Amino acid sequence: MCLFGGVRYIDSPCPANVWRLDAGALPMISSMQINGIRLDCPFLHSLTSRILSRQSEIVSLVSSHIGAYQYSHPSHGLTPFSIGSRDHLSQLLFEHLQIQGHGPIEKTPTGKRYVVSEDSLAPFKCSHPIVPLIIEWHSIDKLRTTYTEPLPRLVDSDSRIHTHFNVTVAATGRLSSSSPNLQNIPIRTPLGREVRRAFIASPGCYLVSGDESQIEMRWAAHGSRDPIMIEVFNRGEDIHAKTACGVFGRDYNDVMSWDQNSEKFKRWKKEERAPSKNLGFGVLYGLTAEGLQRNILTESEGEIYWPVEKCQTFINQFFTMYPALRELMETQYRRARRYGMVWDAFGRVRLVPEAKSCHRKISNEGERKAGNHYEQSSAQGTVKLAMAQMSPVVEDIAKSYKCLSLLQIHDQLIFDVDKRIAEEFSMILQGELEHASPLVVPTLSSRDIAETWVDL
């Protein structure tokens, strides 16, 4: 099948095809870097003040719990406790307070202190009142030092901030963003969402976005030809919810039916929600039983603990539901072990020499990279084809109205469009995303229009 610009599907390494694919997206990538996106600097300054105020409150609350505790330095004796010091937190939590939880207590590679990152502390949230406070302090401190303080210093004379897209860095063909990185601005926390509120449309314009829906799972269905996955997508059902229903023995229609009183879907049981969020993409990317156990602990904030054996059973049930997907991943493993490389549906190669190693830990890592390359890389190919097809559309509209390409955030494209044509443009964008690369299952996308990024 020949796609835009002569790009085609091919089940073999094909650098020429990949070059055509990437070259088609380059005009829009270049425009995004030149255009930048408008930033509300006064709003970020006020957000910085709010963060500093909250951090002071947290320090006071922590102090009320630990009293006159001081950090015992190996060579300098007792020193005042600092919530920003990983060494201080390690000693306070795991030596002085001796907090316990279901999660493993890990040490750094040097063995000098315990790991106290946000993810590692999440399973211990219920162990002591100061743990969630410490996690919050470090979370908002990262927002302040990474975004709210430095971003206003990077805008140009038009209050626009410009990122640099790296086209050839990621082995999967995914674009990465740097100087500054605008692809990893958090969305899960309230303050993280507030950072996105600072990215705004130009005067007289709306931000218009289009987002591919579950594109990697759709590519998994296409590549594996798994009949159950294909049926799920053809019926317009949610693949992750369907998987969880199959594993837990729940009725899909009952779980997903609309509750008129609460105006929400009927809720999953708490012990089912956290695992179901991790199963689909996680297992697709080679998630181990230990990794699933850790993710469930983190997602449930330490309230749900599954033994490794139960996690492994859960993973096995996933592949029992979708046996053809297991075969697709096994094919990638075999290619990795034989050739030291794998390729996606467009012939993009990923070198995985680790898979040929006789050291099991190293070969496992190679196979993990090989197992998800087909879906992840092919999905990015779909987005790049849509970018290539949208470039002439944007250029044509820009002759009469303001229409700028702004950002690519993995499976999402964002534009700055004159309010008079924003609705029409969003429908064009949705159509291009959905028809960029036909699969054996429908490819769907969402479209949104708003004045700020957070509302997209």
pLDDT, one tens digit per residue, over 25-73 is: 999 999 999 999 999 999 999 999 999 999 999 999 999 999 999 999 9
pLDDT, one tens digit per residue, over 277-315 is: 667 777 777 788 888 887 777 777 667 778 889 889 888
Query: How distant, in Å, are the alpha carbons of 57, 202, 422, 450, 452 from that of 419?
Result: 42, 10, 5, 10, 13
pLDDT value at residue 276: 63
Tell me the H-state helices in 80-129.
86-91, 118-121
pLDDT, one tens digit per residue, over 420-449 is: 999 999 999 999 999 999 999 999 999 999
pLDDT, one tens digit per residue, over 157-166 is: 999 999 999 9
Cα separation of 122 and 101, whole Å? Answer: 10
pLDDT, one tens digit per residue, over 187-199 is: 878 888 999 999 9
Query: How distant, in Å, are the alpha carbons of 56, 146, 184, 216, 379 from that of 165?
Result: 36, 18, 13, 21, 18
Give all domains of the chain, ordered by start, each with its CATH number: 4-39+165-212+403-455 (3.30.70.370), 43-148 (1.20.1060.10)
Residue 97 burial class via C-beta count within 10 angstroms: exposed 0-12, middle 13-18, buried 19 and up: middle
pLDDT, one tens digit per residue, over 217-248 is: 999 999 999 999 999 999 998 888 788 788 77
pLDDT value at residue 263: 47
pLDDT value at residue 282: 79
Is the pLDDT assigned to residue 137 strictly greater than 50?
A: yes
How many CB atoms are closer than 10 A to CB 1?
A: 8
pLDDT-based confidence at residue 126 (cuts at 50, 70, 90): confident
pLDDT value at residue 105: 87
